[in-house]
């Protein structure tokens, strides 16, 4: 068990050392790549459902729950 913990810690240390090396390269200007400038952040539009679609989804979910409770042996209260 200690051996597995040691292996995990060594893996973490290796990752940390790689990250430190990358940061040092960036600080010294040795990095060939520069991150692309973020253009205007694109916001997602909120999707709206029609009342008919909402009703279909609601009825389908009620049907699924009814089948679930039927198999389970009756409705249970919360």
Q: Give 59-76 pLDDT, tens digit per residue.
A: 999 999 999 999 988 655
More confidently predicted of 54 and 39: 54
Per-residue CA distances from 37 to 8, 26, 40 (Å): 36, 16, 10
Q: What is the pTM of this model?
A: 0.37
- 38 vs 1: CA distance, rounded Å: 46
- 56 vs 7: CA distance, rounded Å: 53
pLDDT confidence of residue 19: 92
Residue with tokens 């292996």: 7
What digits encode the pLDDT tens for the residues 7-33?
889 999 999 999 999 999 989 886 556
pLDDT band of residue 36 (cuts 50, 70, 90) is low
Per-residue CA distances from 35 to 7, 26, 39, 45, 73 (Å): 33, 11, 12, 27, 59
Domain boundaries, the chain: 1-30
């Amino acid at each position: 068990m200690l051996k597995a913990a040691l292996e995990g810690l060594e893996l973490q240390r290796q990752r940390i050392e790689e990250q430190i090396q990358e940061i040092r390269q960036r600080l010294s200007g040795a990095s060939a790549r520069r991150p692309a400038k973020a253009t205007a952040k694109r916001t997602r539009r909120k999707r709206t459902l029609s009342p008919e679609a909402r009703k279909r989804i609601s009825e389908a979910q009620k049907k699924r729950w009814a089948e679930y409770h039927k198999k389970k042996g009756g409705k249970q209260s919360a």
